């Protein structure tokens, strides 16, 4: 296939103003930590140091939780739903106004292509605030009373911990519903991607959000663990790996804390022989190479019907040769940088295991930049269900291909992982889509598309992909109670 040559089209970074160092956002202000521990956040595409970030300790977390409690017991708790909604609308509009700034900052800190942060992450983050703003004054009519007849009430102070793959978007999935329902929050972004959360703190100031309603504390996993364990936190909302999710569930067992856990995935993208093959190939590419495969619901296992497998793989390889890997700030880039050296090491380790276990590896021919963290889009064929690359989340641009003959075999293979977050079905037959969707143990099932997100649609997992839902009316359930609040 002819490959077009593109002139460089870099987005300007002049729109962002990154400070040399950042404190913590507690009680409506940026404050210094009580300790002196810091770390650097770097740009994964160049390894350039972007800023010095504070690692919050226990005393800082205590201050943040107390600030959130004061806001909950004070001004925020006294507001009507309609008034809370106004703040959420204001935040949504500011996110739209500052969208370019957020997109550039996200791409610098995360390594994802600017066209994705510009066209997906930031618009969806704003959409989450708009959507939940609309719920704030309608909660009594949302069927959230659980049969008690009592109006739903906020839970209190929510401790929220998020990963690095969609930093601002995961923040909005957490903060928007929590605030709409009347809670206050302490949120910890990932160590490798704190900058858009810190810019969001400025948005809270710009929106005149009452002090303490949103607190942002930066740090490592240790900071997250302290937040989870703090006795003043009423509810935990966590998105991250299944391993850490299990730790969290263990650490809060026996307490009165509630939790929603959004964890890992190993989704099957299932292609039948009657599917529109070129369309399916686009869906496979979007399913696993969008955001470098750093997507919890990525279609990381391709299940393709045996009689079309050779054709699908041939077209897929041809398509992958046209993907442009490189500078994430270039508007023509399709595949950006791997988020961290640690994540790159994990991808390399698991792909070596795939080869050692006998699968056949093919990587798209592309020149990897010398600096930064990079991994070429890669496909493994000849994968069996027992292979680690068919069972474990690689969280990178790596696709494991398996085949099947009958719909029953496709279902059995699709469900044969510890996870159950998402799945995709490609077929012309509506009845087959409905039958498959019914059989698949996955929280989200896409038909003839993949990786489509909308704030109105609940998202969440089965099995080791976690519990609770985010988005839609169901997502609000995790942020209200019909019992007395503390
Ligand atoms: P991670 O579990 O290592 O870290 C997630 C967050 O938890 C980070 O902020 C981290 O600092 C913090 N943390 C680490 N150890 C902790 C502890 N013991 N207690 C409390 N907090 C702790 O995950 P990651 O590498 O940042 O993100 C990738 C993972 O996230 C993947 O497994 C992916 O599937 C998952 N994810 C799930 C969803 C979903 O909605 N289901 C969405 C995005 C990502």
Atom 42, ligand 1: residue with shortest CA distance: 296
Q: What is the pLDDT of residue 1?
A: 54
pTM for this one?
A: 0.97
Does the annotation mark 262 as catalytic? yes
**Residue where the block lists tokens 């085949």:** 403
Q: What is the pLDDT of residue 4?
A: 72
Query: In angstroms, what is the span from residue 315 Cα to ligand 1's centroid?
Result: 34
For the chain, what percentages of helix, strand and coil (3-state, to nearest 5) are there? 40, 20, 40
318/308 Cα distance (integer angstroms)? 16
Q: What is the pLDDT of residue 486?
A: 47
Q: What is the pLDDT of residue 5?
A: 82
CB 296 within 8 A of CB 265: yes
Q: Which of 262, 392, 393, 470 is catalytic?
A: 262
Does the annotation mark 366 as catalytic? no
Q: Which two tokens stand for residue 12?
A: 């300007």
290/216 Cα distance (integer angstroms)? 28
pLDDT tens digits for range 51-88: 999 999 999 999 999 999 999 999 999 999 999 999 99
Atom 16, ligand 1: residue with shortest CA distance: 221
224 lines ligand 1 (CB under 6 A): yes
The number of the ligand 1 atom at minimal distance from the alpha carbon of 163 is 26
> Can you list the residues of the chain whose pLDDT is less than 50?
485-486
Q: What is the pLDDT of residue 483?
A: 66
CB 407 within 8 A of CB 381: no
Atom 43, ligand 1: residue with shortest CA distance: 296
Q: What is the pLDDT of residue 2?
A: 59
Query: Could you tell which of 163, 165, 229 is best to mutate to test the pocket of ligand 1, judged by most ligand atoms within 8 Å of the CB?
Result: 163
Contacting residues for 142 by C-beta, under 8 A, at least 6 apart: 135, 152, 473, 476
pLDDT tens digits for range 366-378: 999 999 999 999 9
Q: Which of 101, 116, 204, 296 is catalytic?
A: 296
Q: What is the pLDDT of residue 182?
A: 98
b or e along 302-318 (b: 16 or more beta carbons within 10 Å of the residue's beta carbon)? bbbbeebbeebbebbee
Q: Count how many Cα atoms sit within 13 Å of the Cα of residue 20 in the half-sphere of its side chain.
A: 0
321/381 Cα distance (integer angstroms)? 17
Give long-range contacts, CB 8 A cutoff, 24+ apart: 364-372.
Answer: 364/317, 364/320, 364/321, 364/323, 364/325, 365/321, 366/323, 366/325, 368/325, 369/45, 369/326, 369/327, 371/45, 371/46, 371/47, 372/43, 372/44, 372/45, 372/46, 372/47, 372/111, 372/337
Query: In angstroms, what is the span from residue 394 Cα to ligand 1's centroid?
Result: 14
Q: What is the pLDDT of residue 15?
A: 97
pLDDT tens digits for range 11-59: 999 999 999 999 999 999 999 999 999 999 999 999 999 999 999 999 9
């Amino acid at each position: 296939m002819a490959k077009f040559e593109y002139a460089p089209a870099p987005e300007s970074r002049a729109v962002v103003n990154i400070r040399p160092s950042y404190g913590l956002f507690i009680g409506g202000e940026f404050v210094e930590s009580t300790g002196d521990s810091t770390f650097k956040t770097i740009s994964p595409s160049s390894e350039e140091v972007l800023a010095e970030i504070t690692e919050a300790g226990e005393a800082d977390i205590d201050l943040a939780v107390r600030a959130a409690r004061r806001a909950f017991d004070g001004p925020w708790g006294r507001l009507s739903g309609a008034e809370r909604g106004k703040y959420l609308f204001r935040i949504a509009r500011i996110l739209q106004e500052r969208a370019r700034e957020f997109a550039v900052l996200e791409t610098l800190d995360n390594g994802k292509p600017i066209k994705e942060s510009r066209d997906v992450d930031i618009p969806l983050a704003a959409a989450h605030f708009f959507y939940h703003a609309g719920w704030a004054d309608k909660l009594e009519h949302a069927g959230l009373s659980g049969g008690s007849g009592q109006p739903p009430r906020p839970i209190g102070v929510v401790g929220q911990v998020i990963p690095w793959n969609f930093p601002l978007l995961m923040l909005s999935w957490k903060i928007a519903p929590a605030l709409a329902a009347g809670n206050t929050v302490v949120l910890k972004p990932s160590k490798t991607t704190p900058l858009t959360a810190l810019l969001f703190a400025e948005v809270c100031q710009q929106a005149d959000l009452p002090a303490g309603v949103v607190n942002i504390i930066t740090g490592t996993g240790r900071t997250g663990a302290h937040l989870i364990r703090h006795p003043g936190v009423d509810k935990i909302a966590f998105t991250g790996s299944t391993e850490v999710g299990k730790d969290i569930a263990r650490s809060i067992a026996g307490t009165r804390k509630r939790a929603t856990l959004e964890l890992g995935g190993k989704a099957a993208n299932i292609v039948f022989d009657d599917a529109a093959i070129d369309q399916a190939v686009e869906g496979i590419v979007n399913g696993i190479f969008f955001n470098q495969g750093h997507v919890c619901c990525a279609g990381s296992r391709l299940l393709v019907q045996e009689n079309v497998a050779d054709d699908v793989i041939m077209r897929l390889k041809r398509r992958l040769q046209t993907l442009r890997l490189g500078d994430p700030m270039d508007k023509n880039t399709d595949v950006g940088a791997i988020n961290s050296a640690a994540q790159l090491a994990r991808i390399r380790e698991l792909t070596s295991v795939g080869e050692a276990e006998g699968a056949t590896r093919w990587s798209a021919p592309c020149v990897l930049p010398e600096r930064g963290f990079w991994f070429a889009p890669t496909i493994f064929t000849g994968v069996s269900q027992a292979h680690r690359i068919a069972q474990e989340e690689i969280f990178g641009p790596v696709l494991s291909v398996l085949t099947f003959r009958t719909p029953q075999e496709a279902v059995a293979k699709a469900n044969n992982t510890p996870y159950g977050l998402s799945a995709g079905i490609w077929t012309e037959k509506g009845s087959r889509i409905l039958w498959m969707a019914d059989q698949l143990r996955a929280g989200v099932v896409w038909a003839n598309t993949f990786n489509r997100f909308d704030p109105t649609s609940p998202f969440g997992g089965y099995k080791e992909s976690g519990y609770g839902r985010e988005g839609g009316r169901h997502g609000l359930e995790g942020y209200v109670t019909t019992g007395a609040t503390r």
